[in-house]
Structure 1
Amino acid sequence: MTGMMVAAAAAALAIAAAPIRQDPACPAGSSAALPATYDGWAAMQGVTAGTSVATPATLALGRSARTTLSPVATVTFPVKPERAAAAGTQAGVLAVDVTTPGTYRVALGAAVWVDLVAGGEGSTGMKAVTAVAHGHGPDCSTVRKFVDFKLTPGRYVLQVSGAKTPILAVMVTRLG
C-alpha cells in the first residue's frame, strides 16, 4: 500500500513538473500563423527592461519587444511579485501607457511570472492589478502564454520575473 502511494505521488510530481505545452502535432521549428490579436508579434523592437520603477523601458501597445532582462537579484520591484522568482533567474520592469479603457492582453514568449502594477508616484501607493483571464498562446506558435487585464487610462508597470533566459518576447495589446 505504501509503495502504491509513493508511486502515485511520484507520478503526480512528474505531471506537475512537465512543460505546460507539449504538442507532438507541431513539427520542430514550426510556427503557426497567429490570429489578429497578435498582429504586432512579428515586428519585434529591442528594449532593455529596467531594474526599478524609476528606470522602466516603455512598451509600445500592439508591438512586441525582444526584451533584455537582468538577474532577478538586481531588480527592485515596485510591488512584491505574487510568486517569488527562483535565484539565478531573470527579471525586469517595463512601463505601458494606456489611453483607452478596455481589456488588454500581455503576451509572452516564455513561461515567466508577470504582475501588472498601477497607481502612485514612484513605488508609493502602487498595487497589483488582478488578471481577468490567462492561458496559453495559440498552438504551434511562439506565444507561450497570455494574461488579460481590464484597464483604465494611465501608466502601468509590468513586472516580469522568473525567466530562465535573459531574452523575452513581450507584447501588450488592446482586445476591446
Structure 2
Amino acid sequence: MKPTLIAPLAASLLALAALPALAEAPLAAATFKTQASADAGTASLSEGPEGVVIRVNVSGLTPGWHAIHFHETGDCSDDAYKKSGSHVQHGTKAPHGLLNPEGPDDGDLPNIYAGADGTVNAELYSDRVTLSGAEGRANLIDEDGSALVIHEGPDDHVSQPIGGAGGRVACAAIGKVE
C-alpha cells in the first residue's frame, strides 16, 4: 500500500470505529424491579430512523422463555405491576400478537430467554414505538411515560389479551436520558 493512502485509510477506520459507540448511546433507560429485588437489571433504549433498539439485562427470573411488552404507563409502584396499564397504542387498537393476522399491537415484542441462572441478556427491536414522538408510532416518552413488563411465561403471539404469558414478574419504568 502506498504511504499516501495509509493516513486517510487510518482516519477512515478510526471514524468507523467511533460510529458504534455513538449509535449505542441510549436515549432512554429503565431499571427493572422484581418482587425479590428493586434493582434486578436494566434496559437501554436507542432510537434509529425507523424504530427503537432495546437492550435488556435482567436477573432473578425463572429459567426459560418470558414475554416482554411495552406498557402504557411508567408506573411500577404496585406489587403486581398493574399500574403500568395495558400495552402502548398510538391510534386504533390492534389485537395482540406478533403472529396474529390482525395484529400486532404497539406493545408487542419477541420473547426473551432466561438462562439456568435466571439472567437475560437480549437485544430487541420495535418499529412500532418512538422515543422522540415520531409520527405513526407509540410514544414511550409521553406525559405519563411507559414501562417494560416481563411476564412469568412466554407469549404465544396470538392469544388475547397477552398471549397466555401469565402474571407480571418484572417491571421497569422508562425514562429519558438527558
TM-score normalized by the length of structure 2? 0.31
* Greater fraction of residues in strand: 1
TM-score normalized by the length of structure 1? 0.31
